[in-house]
Amino acid sequence: MSGAPSIPMSATLAADEALDRRRRAGEQVLPMAGGEIGLPVLPALRRRLAAAADANAYGPVAGSRALRAAAAGYWGRRRLPTDPELVVAGPGSKPLLFALLLALGGDVVVPVPSWVSYAAQARLVGARPVPVPIAPGQGGVPDPERLRAAVTAARAAGHDPRSVVVTLPDNPTGSVASPGTVRALAAAARELDLVIVSDEIYCDLVYDASEPAESPALHAPERTVVTTGLTKNLAVGGWRTGVARLPDSDTGRALHGRLVPVASQIWSSPPAPVQAAAAYAFDEPPEVVERVAASRRLHETVARAVAGRLTDAGALLAPVRATCYLYPDFTPLGDRLARAHDVHGGADLVRFLGERHGIGLLPAGAFGEDGDPLRIRAATSRLYGEDDAQRTAALAAPDPLQLPWIRANLAHIDAALADLTGTRTPRA
Amino acid sequence: MSGAPSIPMSATLAADEALDRRRRAGEQVLPMAGGEIGLPVLPALRRRLAAAADANAYGPVAGSRALRAAAAGYWGRRRLPTDPELVVAGPGSKPLLFALLLALGGDVVVPVPSWVSYAAQARLVGARPVPVPIAPGQGGVPDPERLRAAVTAARAAGHDPRSVVVTLPDNPTGSVASPGTVRALAAAARELDLVIVSDEIYCDLVYDASEPAESPALHAPERTVVTTGLTKNLAVGGWRTGVARLPDSDTGRALHGRLVPVASQIWSSPPAPVQAAAAYAFDEPPEVVERVAASRRLHETVARAVAGRLTDAGALLAPVRATCYLYPDFTPLGDRLARAHDVHGGADLVRFLGERHGIGLLPAGAFGEDGDPLRIRAATSRLYGEDDAQRTAALAAPDPLQLPWIRANLAHIDAALADLTGTRTPRA
| A124 neighbourhood in chain B, CB within 8 Å | 102, 262, 265-266
ipTM of the complex: 0.95
What is the radius of gyration, based on Cα positions, of chain B? 21
By Cβ distance, the residue of B3, B101, B117 closest to A106 is: B3
**Best to test chain B binding among A17, A56, A387 (most B CBs inside 10 Å):** A56
**Angle A66-A69-A73 from CA coordinates, rounded to 5°:** 135
Strands A161-167 and A107-112: parallel
User: Which residue in B1, B2, B47 has the most chain A C-beta atoms within 10 A of its own C-beta, making it the best mutation to test that interface?
Assistant: B2
pLDDT tens for B96-140 read 999 999 999 999 999 999 999 999 999 999 999 999 999 999 999
Other Cβ atoms within 10 Å of A300 Cβ, number: 20
Question: C-alpha dihedral over A316, A322, A323, A326, to 10 degrees?
Answer: 0
Q: Using the beta-carbon criterion (under 8 Å), do B126 and A98 form an inter-chain contact?
A: no
Q: Let me know: does A243 contact A96? Beta carbons within 8 Å.
A: yes
* Range B43-285: architecture per CATH: 3-Layer(aba) Sandwich (3.40)
In a 3-state reduction of DSSP, which class is residue A370? coil
Q: What's the average model confidence in pLDDT over B420-425?
A: 80
Distance from CA of A423 to the nearest CA of B (A): 37
The strand pair at A376-379 and A325-326 is best described as antiparallel
Residue B426 pLDDT exceeds 80: no
B23 pLDDT above the threshold of 90? no
Flag the least confident range among A413-417, B306-310, B423-427. B423-427
Helix (H, G, I), strand (E, B) or coil at B319: coil
Q: Does B367 have pLDDT greater than 90?
A: yes
Best B68, B108, B234, B266 member to test A by mutation, with max A CBs in 10 Å, is B266
Give the model's pLDDT for residue B21: 85
Task: Locate all alpha helices (DSSP H) within B63-132, ordered by sequence.
Answer: 65-76, 93-104, 116-124
* Cβ separation A261–B3 shorter than 8 A: no
Nearest 5°: CA angle at B101, between B98 and B102? 90
Fold assignment, A44-284: Aspartate Aminotransferase; domain 2 (3.40.640)
Amino acid at B77: R
pLDDT by residue (tens digit) across B326-353?
999 999 999 999 999 999 999 999 999 9
Q: pLDDT, tens digit, for every residue of B36-79? A: 999 999 999 999 999 999 999 999 999 999 999 999 999 999 99
Q: Do B238 and A59 touch (CB under 8 A)?
A: yes
CA distance B183 to chain A (A): 28
Q: Report how far apart, in Å, the C-alpha atoms of B334 and of each of A272, A400, A402, B316, B317 are.
A: 42, 77, 82, 12, 15
Whole-angstrom distance, CA of residue B169 vs CA of residue B172 = 9
Give the mean pLDDT of B139-143.
98
Contact with chain A for residue B338, Cβ under 8 A: no
> Looking at the DSSP assignment, which residues form a beta bridge with residue A359?
A30
Q: Distance between terminal CA atoms of chain A?
A: 59
Q: What is the pLDDT of residues B172-196, one digit of tens each?
A: 999 999 999 999 999 999 999 999 9
Q: How many CB atoms lie within 10 A of CB B289?
A: 11
Instruction: Please report which residue ranges of B130-234 form alpha helices under DSSP H.
Output: 144-156, 179-192
Q: What is the pLDDT of residue B26?
A: 86
**Cα–Cα–Cα angle for A201, A204, A210, rounded to 5 degrees:** 135
Interface contact A40-B46, CB threshold 8 A: no
3-class SS shares of chain A: helix, strand, coil, % to 5: 50, 15, 40
Report how far residue A311's alpha carbon sits from residue A330's, in angstroms, rounded to the nearest whole number: 9
- CATH classification number, B11-41+287-421, choose in 3.40.190.10, 3.30.450.20, 3.90.1150.10, 3.90.660.10: 3.90.1150.10
The answer to whether the beta carbons of residues A36 and B57 sit under 8 Å apart is yes
> Per-domain residue ranges for chain B?
11-41+287-421, 43-285
Q: Which of residues 111-150 of A touch B (CB under 8 A)?
A: 117, 120-121, 124-128
Helix (H) or strand (E) holding B198: strand B195-199
| Each residue's pLDDT tens digit, B247-304 | 999 999 999 999 999 999 999 999 999 999 999 999 999 999 999 999 999 999 999 9
* Residues ≥6 apart with Cβ < 8 Å to B280: B44, B45, B48, B70, B288
Identify the pLDDT of residue B424: 62
Q: Which residues of chain A have pLDDT under 50?
A: 1-5, 426-428
Which residue, among A305, A290, A329, A283, has the nearest Cα to A380 in the 3D structure? A305
A64 close contact with B: CB closer than 8 A: no
CB atoms near residue B176 (< 10 Å)? 32
d(CA A86, CA A131): 29
Among B55, B94, B260, the residue with its CB nearest the CB of A9 is: B260
pLDDT band at B425 (very low <50, low <70, confident <90, very high): low
What's the pLDDT at A425? 53
Contact residues, chain A, for B126 at CB < 8 Å: 1-2, 125-126
User: How long a stretch of residues is chain A?
Assistant: 428
pLDDT value at residue B5: 47
Q: Tell me whether A67 touches chain B (CB under 8 Å).
A: no
Conformation bin of residue A268: beta by default, left when phi > 0, alpha when psi is -120 to 50? left
Contact A5 B258 (CB under 8 A): yes
Sequence-distant (≥ 6) Cβ neighbours of residue B416 within 8 angstroms: B353, B356, B357, B359
% of chain B surpassing 90 pLDDT? 90
CB B360 within 8 A of CB B18: yes
Classified as helix, coil or strand, A337 is: helix
B59: chain A residues, CB-CB within 8 Å: 238
